[in-house]
Structure 1
Amino acid sequence: MNDETQSRPSLPDRLSVDPRSPHHVAAVFEHGIGIRLNGKDHTNVEEYCISEGWVKVPAGKTVDRKGNPLMIKLKGKVEAFYR
C-alpha cells in the first residue's frame, strides 16, 4: 500500500475530467478519485475547485447545442481523495 500511495500524484486544487480543459491532469485519472461535498460523496462531478469551494455536476439529461451536458455549480466544503 505504501508503494501505491507514493506513485500517486498529489491531487490538484482544481481538476476537470474534460481533456480539453487546462485543468485536466491525465495522470490523476489513472487512480480512483472520490469527491466529497459538505460531507456527502458525489460520483458525477465533472470539475472541482477546493480553494473556491465548488463542484460542477451535470444538470440532469439536459445538453447544450454541441451535445455537452449542462453543468450546475454546487458550493460548499470540497474534499478530494483517492479511493
Structure 2
Amino acid sequence: MTDTLPDRLSVNPKSPFYDEALLLRGIGVRFNGTEKTNVEEYCISEGWIRVAAGKAVDRKGNPLTMLLKGPVEVWIKDEPEA
C-alpha cells in the first residue's frame, strides 16, 4: 500500500471518495492549525472539511454536516507496534 493520500476522502461508504483500507490505517486531519477528530469528508485542493453538526440527522439517518473553509493538512496515523 502506498503512503500517498487522496485529494478528497469521505467516511461515508456511499460516497465515490470512500476508501475503507485507507480509513482503517487512520487519517489525521489538521484544519486551521488544530487537529480535528470529527471530520466526515475533506478536500485538500479546494480547502474545506465537512464536519457533523451536533447530533442532528437527516430523515435517512445520516448526520447533518457543515462545510468549513480553510487550510487542510492530512497525514496517515501509524499505529504503534505492540
User: Normalised by the size of structure 1, how large is the TM-score?
Assistant: 0.86
Q: What stretches of structure 1 of length at least 5 have no aligned partner?
A: 1-6
- Aligned match for 1:75, one of 43, 64, 69: 69
1:65 corresponds in structure 2 to 59
Q: What stretches of structure 2 of length at least 5 have no aligned partner?
A: 78-82
Whose helix proportion is higher, 1 or 2?
A: 1
Runs of 4+ in 1 over 2 A off after TM superposition: none
1:3 corresponds in structure 2 to none
Instruction: Calculate the aligned-residue CA RMSD, in Å.
Output: 1.1
- Asked if structure 2 preserves the Cα contact closer than 8 Å seen for 1:9 and 1:28, the reply is no
Give 1:32 shift.
1.4
Give 1:18 shift.
0.7
Q: Quick check: 1:39 aligned with 2:40? A: no
- Mapped to 1, the partners of 2:2 and 2:54 lie a distance apart of 32
- Mapped to 1, the partners of 2:24 and 2:2 lie a distance apart of 9
- Percent same amino acid among aligned pairs? 60
2:14 corresponds in structure 1 to 20
